[in-house]
C-alpha cells in the first residue's frame, strides 16, 4: 500500500472486508443485471471507432410517431454507450447515418429494399447502402413498429459483436401474438413469481408512473413481444372496475409506443361479484349485456386493448360449467362483447376438475376436443406445453395439432415454478425447443408443434404464443442473472419458433456477458446442459410432480395424504415394491389415445417410448431391462447421480470463469450455483431414500446411499416459500 493505488490494489487491500461483505467492487460502478441484454457498454478499439463511423447520426423524418421516437431514443442510448459519442439527430441522410425509413416517410425505400413488400406490419430490413453518395445504414419497415424492431435488431447485431458495416438482412415474425402473461395479483404479490413483487405498483398507479415501466417496455419490445396480460389469471372482479381500469390504462399508455398492447385477465363471475347481475350464466342476456357494456367502457380508457384472458372452471375458478354451459359457450359470450372493438378472448385450456376421477393428463383434451370449430373467430384457446403443468419434462400436450378448426396458442412458463424457482440455473430454451420441434403427426410426419403455433399446419389466421412471466421488482428483473435468458429466449422463439435455442443462448450470452469466445462457449455449454440437469436430479425417466406440499420446490415423493388423489405425488409416480410409473397405455388410463395414432403406438410400447418419458407412460417393474443393460432401478439411480454431477459441473464451469466476468455478477451466480448443487443432492438423496423404502432394493454398485434416513428428508421443511401469490382481503 503505497503511492497511487489501482483498483486491483484496492481490491487486494480490502479483500478481508469483501470476503464477508458483498461489495463488488467496493469503490463504485458495478454490473447489477438491471440492464439485461441491453448493456450498452463502451466497445474496445478498434470496434468502437468502426461502429462510430457508421453511426454518426440518426436520420428521422419530422413528425415522427411515438414509436419511431422510441426507436430513436434507443439507438441514441445504444450508440452513445457503445461509442462514447452521442449521435446527432438529422432529418436528411448524412454520411454514416442510420436512416429510419418507412414507405410513408421515404417512398424511395420500396425500390431500395425489395423485401419490404413481404415483411408485413412488424417485419424489418437492415441494409447498408449508398444513398445520394452517402454511405448509410437503412432500417426499413412498413410501419413504425417495424422500424422499432429493426432498431433493436441493429442494436442486437452490435451487441453480439457482429460487423455492422455491411448488412443486408430482413426478418418478420412468424407468430402474430407474442405474449407475456403476468400472474401478478392486485396486492402486488405474484403467483409463482420468484423475483420479488409485481413490477406493477398498483397502489401508486395511475398517479405514479414508475420509470421501470419504460425499461420493461424497452426490454420486452427488444425481443419482439407485442402483448402483455397485466394481472393474474386467478383474477379478481375489481380488475374491471373504473379505478383499476385507470391503473391498467396508465400502464397501457406507457407500453403502447413500444408496440405492446395489453390483455386483462378477467373473472367469469365478475358481474355477480360486483353486484350487478345475479348470475354469470353466459346464455343469460343480462350477462351478455353486462359484458358488452363493460367492454365498451374499458375500450374508452384503453382503445387498443387486445382483449381478455380467462381461466375458467379450473382449480376452483368460476366458469360456464357452473351453469351447465361449455367452454365454447362461455368464450363466445365474452368474444361477442369484445368483437365490436376488435378484441380477442384467450381462453385457457388448463382445466381439470377436482371432482373428476379421470387421469388428470386427459381432462383438458376431453373437455376441448369436442368443441373444435365451435368457437367464435376472435377466440384463441391457450394450451400449456404439456398435459399436466409445466413439469421439468412432459410430452407435448395432446391438444396441440388436434384442434384443426380452432386457433391454438402455446403457453409456456418462463418463471420456473417447477425447476428450482429463481435459484437453480435451468435454461428453458432447451425445453421450448423440445416442444416446438415435437412432431404431433397430426397431418403425418413433420406436423410439428411449431407449425401449430405459426398456423401453417391447419391454416390458422390467429396465431399466438404465451409465456407466464418471471419478471418482478428484483433488480435483475428475473431473480437471477441466468433467468434473464429464459425471458430472452422465449421472445426470440415466439418471433421464430424454428430458431435454435443454442444460437439464441449464444446471442444472449454475448450481449449479457462477454464477446470473448471462450467465455461465450463456456456459458452456452452451461446453459445447454442445465435443464436436463434439473430433470435428472429431480425427476428423471419421465417421473413428474414429486414436489412437497404447499409449494413446488423441494422433494416430496412420499406425500400421499392430501384430500384429492391428484394432489399427491404418489398419484403421479405410483411406485410400490414391484415397480413404478403411470400406466397411460391402453391397459392404463389410455391417455396415449389422445395422440395421433402413429405416436400413440410408440407411446404404448415401453421399448419404443423415449427413455426420457418412460415412466410418464408406463408402469414398469424395478427390474425392467433398459437399453443400457441396466435395470430400471439402476438406471434411475444413475440418472440422479448424473444430475448431481451435472450440477457440480455447472459450478465448476462457472468457477473457471472467475476474472472473465465482472465481480458482482460472478459472485452472485456462484452463490446460487452452490445452492443448486446442495439442493440437487437433496433431491437425489431424498428421492432415492424414498424409493428404496418402497422397493427394498440395495444401492446399485458404485452409487453412495443417501447420507440420512428417509425420516430426516421427510422432516425437512421449506417454510414461507415465495410465489404462492396470496391476495389480501380487500
Nearer to a copy of itself, 7 or 610 (CB): 7
Q: Are 636 and 573 in contact (CB under 8 A)?
A: no
Task: Name which position in 115, 129, 157, 214 contacts a copy of itself (CB under 8 A).
Answer: 214
Compute the least distance from the CB of residue 58 to a copy of itself, in Å: 9
- Mark residue 709 as left, alpha or beta (left: phi above 0; alpha: psi -120 to 50; beta: remaining): beta
Residue closer to a copy of itself by CB (options 480, 589) is: 480
| Residue 122 is among the residues annotated as catalytic for this protein | no
How would you classify the pairing of strands 168-171 and 124-131?
A: antiparallel
Q: Which lies closer to a copy of itself via its Cβ, residue 62 or residue 357?
A: 62
Q: How many CB atoms lie within 10 A of CB 354?
A: 12
- Residues in binding contact with a copy of itself, number by CB under 8 A: 88
Q: What is the closest distance, in whole angstroms, from the C-beta atom of residue 452 to a copy of itself in the complex?
A: 35
Q: Find where cell 431500395 sits.
A: 112
Q: From the CA atom positions of the chain, what is the Rg in Å?
A: 27
Kind of pairing between the strands at 344-348 and 124-131: unpaired
CB atoms within 10 A of CB 581: 24
13 binds a copy of itself, rule: CB under 8 A: yes
Among 47, 50, 103, 187, binds a copy of itself (CB under 8 A): 187
Establish if 10 lies at the interface with a copy of itself (CB under 8 A): yes
Q: Are 404 and 458 in contact (CB under 8 A)?
A: yes
User: Site residues for a copy of itself, window 26-65 (CB under 8 A)?
Assistant: 26-28, 30, 32, 40, 60, 62
If the CB atoms of residues 237 and 689 are measured against a copy of itself, the closer one turns out to be 237
Alpha helices in 162-313 (DSSP H): 211-222, 242-255, 270-273, 285-301
Site for a copy of itself in 258-317 (CB under 8 A): none
Q: Could you say which of 54, 176, 224, 257 contacts a copy of itself (CB under 8 A)? A: 257
Quote the cell numbers at residue 387: 398435459
Q: Interface with a copy of itself includes 4 (CB under 8 A)?
A: yes
Query: By CB under 8 A, what part of segment 525-554 binds a copy of itself?
Result: 550
Select from 140-148, 473-481, 533-541, 604-612 the region that touches a copy of itself (CB under 8 A): 473-481
Say what angle helices 517-538 and 429-437 make with each other, to 10 degrees.
70
Compute the distance between CA of residue 151 and CA of residue 153 in angstroms, rounded to an integer: 5
Q: From the CB of 251, what's the least distance to a copy of itself, in Å?
A: 11
Under rule CB under 8 A, residue 423 binds a copy of itself: yes
Least Å from the CB of residue 10 to a copy of itself: 6
Kindly identify the residues of this chain, within the stretch 86-125, that bind a copy of itself according to CB under 8 A: 86-91
Judged by CB under 8 A, the chain residues 652 through 691 that form the site for a copy of itself are 664, 668, 671-672, 674-675, 678
Q: How big is the chain, counted in residues?
A: 730
Phi-psi region of 328 (alpha: psi -120 to 50; beta: other; left: phi over 0): alpha
Give the residue, chosen from 210, 284, 322, 649, that forms a contact with a copy of itself under the rule CB under 8 A. 210
What DSSP state is assigned to residue 32? -
* Strand pairing report for 344-348 and 379-384: parallel
Assign 144 to helix, strand or coil: helix
Segment interacting with a copy of itself (CB under 8 A) among 138-146, 206-214, 322-330, 702-710: 206-214
CB of 203 to a copy of itself, least distance (A): 5
Say which of 53, 169, 293, 315 is annotated catalytic.
315
Interface stretch with a copy of itself, choices 3-11, 153-161, 343-351, 562-570 (CB under 8 A): 3-11
Match 450481449 to its residue by C-alpha cell: 511
Q: Which stretch binds a copy of itself (CB under 8 A): 73-81, 329-337, 396-404, 588-596?
A: 73-81
Whether 417 is catalytic is yes
Catalytic (active site) residue 191: no
User: Which of 417, 532, 583, 679 is flagged as catalytic?
Assistant: 417
**Catalytic, out of 144, 184, 359, 389:** 389
CB 472 within 8 A of CB 197: yes
CB of 533 to a copy of itself, least distance (A): 18
Report the 3 state secondary structure along 568-623.
CHHHHHCCCCCEECCCCCCCCCCHHHHCCHHHHHHHHCCCCCCHHHHHHHCCEECC
| Interface region with a copy of itself, contact rule CB under 8 A, candidates 205-213, 317-325, 533-541, 585-593 | 205-213
The b/e string for 141-152 (b: 16+ C-beta within 10 A; e otherwise) is bbbbbbbbbbbb
C-alpha cell at 441: 403427426
Q: How far is the CB of 406 from a copy of itself (least distance, A)?
A: 35
254 binds a copy of itself (CB under 8 A): yes
Nearest CA to 197 among 411, 488, 469, 390?
Answer: 469
Rounded distance between C-alpha atoms, residue 97 and residue 2, angstroms: 49
In the list 211, 275, 563, 587, the residue contacting a copy of itself (rule: CB under 8 A) is 211
Q: Does 22 bind a copy of itself (CB under 8 A)?
A: yes
Number of H helices, E strands in the chain: 23, 16
Enumerate the H helices of 223-360 as residue ranges.
242-255, 270-273, 285-301, 327-338
Q: In the complex with a copy of itself, which residue's Cβ is closer, 29 or 111? A: 29
Q: What are the catalytic residues?
A: 315, 389, 417
Amino acid at each position: 500500500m503505497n503511492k497511487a493505488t489501482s483498483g486491483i490494489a484496492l481490491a487486494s487491500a480490502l479483500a478481508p472486508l469483501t470476503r464477508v461483505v458483498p461489495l463488488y467492487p467496493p469503490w463504485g460502478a458495478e454490473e447489477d443485471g438491471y440492464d439485461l441484454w441491453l448493456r450498452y457498454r463502451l466497445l474496445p478499439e478498434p470496434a468502437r471507432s468502426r461502429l462510430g463511423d457508421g453511426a454518426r447520426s440518426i436520420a428521422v423524418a419530422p413528425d415522427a410517431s411515438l414509436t419511431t421516437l422510441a426507436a430513436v431514443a434507443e439507438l441514441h442510448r445504444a450508440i452513445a454507450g457503445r461509442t462514447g459519442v452521442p449521435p446527432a439527430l438529422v432529418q436528411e441522410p448524412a454520411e454514416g447515418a442510420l436512416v429510419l425509413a418507412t414507405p410513408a416517410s421515404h417512398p424511395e425505400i420500396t425500390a431500395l429494399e425489395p423485401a419490404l413488400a413481404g415483411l408485413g406490419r412488424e417485419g424489418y430490413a437492415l441494409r447498408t447502402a449508398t444513398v445520394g453518395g452517402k454511405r448509410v445504414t437503412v432500417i426499413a419497415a412498413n410501419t413504425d413498429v417495424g422500424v422499432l424492431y429493426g432498431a433493436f435488431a441493429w442494436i442486437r447485431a452490435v451487441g453480439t459483436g457482429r460487423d455492422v458495416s455491411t448488412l443486408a438482412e430482413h426478418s418478420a415474425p412468424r407468430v402474430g401474438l407474442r405474449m407475456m402473461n403476468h400472474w401478478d395479483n392486485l396486492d402486488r404479490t405474484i403467483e409463482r413469481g420468484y423475483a420479488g413483487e409485481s413490477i406493477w405498483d398498483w397502489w401508486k398507479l395511475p398517479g405514479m408512473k414508475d420509470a421501470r415501466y419504460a425499461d420493461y417496455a424497452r426490454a420486452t419490445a427488444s425481443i419482439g413481444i407485442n402483448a402483455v396480460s397485466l394481472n393474474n389469471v386467478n383474477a379478481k372482479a375489481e380488475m374491471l372496475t373504473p379505478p383499476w381500469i385507470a391503473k391498467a390504462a396508465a400502464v397501457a399508455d406507457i407500453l403502447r409506443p413500444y408496440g405492446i398492447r395489453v390483455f386483462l385477465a378477467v373473472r367469469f363471475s365478475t358481474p355477480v361479484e360486483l353486484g350487478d347481475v345475479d348470475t354469470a350464466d353466459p346464455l343469460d342476456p343480462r350477462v351478455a349485456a353486462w359484458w358488452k357494456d363493460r367492454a365498451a367502457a374499458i375500450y374508452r380508457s384503453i382503445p387498443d386493448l387486445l382483449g381478455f384472458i380467462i381461466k375458467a372452471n379450473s382449480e376452483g375458478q368460476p366458469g360456464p360449467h357452473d351453469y351447465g354451459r361449455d367452454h365454447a359457450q362461455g368464450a363466445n359470450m365474452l368474444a361477442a362483447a369484445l368483437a365490436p372493438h376488435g378484441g380477442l378472448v384467450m381462453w385457457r385450456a388448463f382445466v381439470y376438475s377436482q371432482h373428476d376421477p379421470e387421469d388428470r393428463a386427459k381432462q383438458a383434451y376431453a373437455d376441448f376436443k369436442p368443441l373444435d370449430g365451435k368457437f367464435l373467430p376472435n377466440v384463441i384457446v391457450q394450451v400449456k406445453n404439456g398435459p399436466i403443468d409445466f413439469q421439468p419434462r412432459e410430452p407435448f400436450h395432446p391438444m396441440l395439432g388436434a384442434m384443426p378448426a380452432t386457433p391454438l396458442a402455446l403457453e409456456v412458463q418462463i418463471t420456473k415454478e417447477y425447476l428450482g424457482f429463481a435459484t437453480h440455473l435451468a435454461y428453458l430454451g432447451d425445453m421450448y425447443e423440445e416442444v416446438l420441434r415435437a412432431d404431433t403427426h397430426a397431418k403425418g410426419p413433420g406436423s410439428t408443434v411449431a407449425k401449430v403455433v405459426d398456423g401453417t399446419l391447419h391454416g390458422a389466421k390467429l396465431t399466438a404464443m404465451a409465456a407466464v412471466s418471471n419478471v418482478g421488482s428484483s433488480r435483475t428483473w428475473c431473480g437471477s442473472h441466468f433467468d434473464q435468458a429464459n425471458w430472452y429466449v422465449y421472445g426470440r422463439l415466439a418471433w421464430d419458433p424454428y430458431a435454435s435455442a443454442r444460437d439464441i443462448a449464444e446471442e444472449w450470452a454475448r450481449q449479457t456477458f462477454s464477446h470473448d469466445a471462450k467465455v461465450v462457449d463456456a456459458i452456452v455449454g452451461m446453459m445447454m446442459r442445465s435443464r436436463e440437469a434439473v430433470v435428472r436430479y429431480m425427476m428423471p425417466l419421465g417421473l413428474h410432480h414429486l414436489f412437497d406440499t404447499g409449494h413446488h420446490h423441494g422433494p416430496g415423493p412420499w406425500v400421499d395424504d392430501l384430500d384429492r388423489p391428484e394432489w399427491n405425488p404418489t398419484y403421479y409416480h405410483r411406485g410400490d415394491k414391484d415397480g413404478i410409473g403411470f400406466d397411460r397405455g391402453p391397459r392404463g388410463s389410455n391417455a396415449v389415445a389422445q395422440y395421433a395414432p402413429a405416436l400413440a403406438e410408440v407411446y404404448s410400447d415401453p421399448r419404443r417410448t423415449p427413455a426420457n418419458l418412460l415412466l410418464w407412460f408406463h408402469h414398469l417393474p424395478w427390474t425392467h431391462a433398459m437399453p443400457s443393460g441396466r435395470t430400471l432401478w439402476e438406471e434411475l439411480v444413475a440418472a440422479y447421480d448424473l444430475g448431481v454431477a451435472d450440477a457440480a459441473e455447472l459450478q465448476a464451469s462457472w468457477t473457471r470463469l472467475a476474472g472473465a466476468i465482472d465481480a458482482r455478477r460472478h459472485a452472485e451466480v456462484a452463490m446460487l450455483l452452490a445452492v443448486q448443487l446442495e439442493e440437487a443432492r437433496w433431491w437425489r438423496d431424498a428421492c432415492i431414500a424414498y424409493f428404496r423404502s418402497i422397493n427394498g432394493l440395495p444401492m446399485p454398485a458404485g452409487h453412495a446411499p443417501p447420507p440420512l434416513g428417509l425420516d430426516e428428508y421427510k422432516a425437512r421443511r421449506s417454510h414461507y416459500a415465495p410465489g404462492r401469490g396470496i391476495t389480501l382481503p380487500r
